Structure 1
Amino acid sequence: MAATATPTRTDEELTDTEREARDAEAKRREEEEQAALPYKWRQTLLDVDVTVPVPKGTKGRDLTVVIARKKLKVGFKGKEPIMEGELCAAVNSEDSTWLIDGTELVIHLEKVNQQEWWKNVLTHHPAIDTTKIQPENSKLSDLDGETRSMVEKMMFDQQQKQLGRPTSDDMKKADMLKKFQEMHPEMDFSNAKFS
């Protein structure tokens, strides 16, 4: 007797408890994958900071650190790199820096596109779910009203895109079209194409 596959249910079909359990499992798996990397990282919309543990007494001359627009290479001279590959997105290599702080190599990467969250540092490493990113409230609250609303709009739009839903601009256009249609019922919009 052949086993039948259980059809995948959409997010809307799940109960709140099932959704919470699925999200908790995804978060646990993501945390395990990130913990297995040879570095830790955190980001804001403006930059990414990567922390690589190094032995006490490590000097800059002991390391090879190459920061290019779309590539990063980190390692000890004469040894296999600790990390090497294509960056998730472009960085401004002129404004990106690195330093040794005790037993850590700290690499500061300035994002070129400062309006998106990175899924990972290197494209071949496990990705995080950027829809679950919660910016630090103190940082968000430090922004002036106009900047804060712009950042909140960008976060909403990015989450909507990833879920395949309309962005705030798409919803605004649809609302304007609906009002226009109500004001002009004599016009036929059945064959209209909007992009």
Structure 2
Amino acid sequence: MAIISDYQDEEQTKKQTPPSSSSSSQPKPSKSIPFTSIFDPSNPTSFLEKVFDFIAKESDFFEKDSSEKGNGMDLEKYSWTQTLQELNVNVPVPHGTKSRFLICEIKKNHLTVGLKGQPPIIDGELYKSIKPDECYWSIEDQSMLSILLTKHDQMDWWKCLVKGDPEINTQKVEPENSKLGDLDPETRQTVEKMMFDQRQKSMGLPTSEELQKQEMMKKFMSQHPEMDFSNAKLS
């Protein structure tokens, strides 16, 4: 199991350069890019490909908070990351701590972690249920308690580890491309659809289902020119 190191906030220094007439220096697109202008009703798949291609090339288009690295959060007493299938929780402990000095109770909807004889470090209701029989913990480098939690619902992103803790913006969550390649075709299609719909909603654009309905409506309208669709809504 990989150990999560302390996160470091990275500051980017923007250098101002004089405008250049060179064609190689093109301004980056703004957030007001009209994706609808590239939508071809006769080929919605092409539209989806263009959107995903844009997201891949403009990685800084959707800024991600430094506290949400690994699709989780770095908190004062512990940190956590997640994939669609599982969560990794890392709790720093005094160097040389043995397992017999630790309390780690993993239940379906509750997690308790701490040192014996001291107030718990984590003690709360989990954001969603897990599979206790498929979870485990270990001490890494004699200074880090590492916990793996297997989600019960493996098609959902968690906003926090335990209820009441600070939450992340799940619309900024993105599974790594390498992880997508490990999924079966049906699951990967579902994940990509979720990603697309999240991005569409954040930009105020139609989701994949809404685009499909619009396409069906347009097709129906073209097949029935004798009907009056002046008051019809496509969204």
The one-letter code of the counterpart of 2:180 is L
State the 4+ residue runs in structure 1 displaced beyond 4 angstroms: 28-31, 161-165, 185-193
Distance 1:43 1:58, change over 3 A: same
Distance 1:164 1:88, change over 3 A: farther
TM-score normalised by length of structure 1 = 0.71
Corresponding residue of 1:58: 97
Corresponding residue of 1:183: 223
1:90 & 1:165 partners in 2: Cα distance?
32
Q: Cα RMSD over matched residues?
A: 3.3
Deviates more, 1:61-70 or 1:75-84: 61-70
Deviates more, 1:127-136 or 1:75-84: 127-136
2:85 & 2:229 partners in 1: Cα distance?
42
Aligned length: 176
Contact 2:134 2:150 in 1 (8 A): yes
3-state SS of paired residue (1:171): helix
The Cα of 1:68 is off from its aligned counterpart by 2.0
Residue 69 (1) aligns with residue 105 (2): no
| Match of residue 143, structure 2, among 103, 106, 113 | 103
Corresponding residue of 1:126: 166
Unaligned runs of at least 5 residues, structure 1:
1-10, 14-20
The Cα of 1:36 is off from its aligned counterpart by 3.8
Contact 2:109 2:128 in 1 (8 A): yes
The Cα of 1:185 is off from its aligned counterpart by 4.2
Corresponding residue of 2:179: 139
Distance 1:95 1:29, change over 3 A: closer
1:163 & 1:90 partners in 2: Cα distance?
31
Distance 1:28 1:40, change over 3 A: closer
Distance 1:104 1:178, change over 3 A: same
Contact 1:70 1:86 in 2 (8 A): yes
Distance 1:180 1:98, change over 3 A: same
The Cα of 1:166 is off from its aligned counterpart by 3.6
Distance 1:37 1:187, change over 3 A: farther
Deviates more, 1:127-136 or 1:178-187: 178-187
| Match of residue 152, structure 1, among 187, 192, 206 | 192
1:190 & 1:67 partners in 2: Cα distance?
59
Contact 1:115 1:154 in 2 (8 A): no
The one-letter code of the counterpart of 1:92 is K
1:90 & 1:164 partners in 2: Cα distance?
31
TM-score normalised by length of structure 2 = 0.61
Q: Which string of whole-angstrom CA distances, capped at 9 and with x for unpartnered residues, describes residues 95-150 of structure 1?
A: 12222222111111111121122121122111122222232232223345544333
Corresponding residue of 2:8: none
Unaligned runs of at least 5 residues, structure 2:
1-30, 34-59
Corresponding residue of 2:123: 84
Q: Percent identity?
A: 47
2:157 & 2:123 partners in 1: Cα distance?
20
Distance 1:71 1:189, change over 3 A: farther
1:71 & 1:136 partners in 2: Cα distance?
28
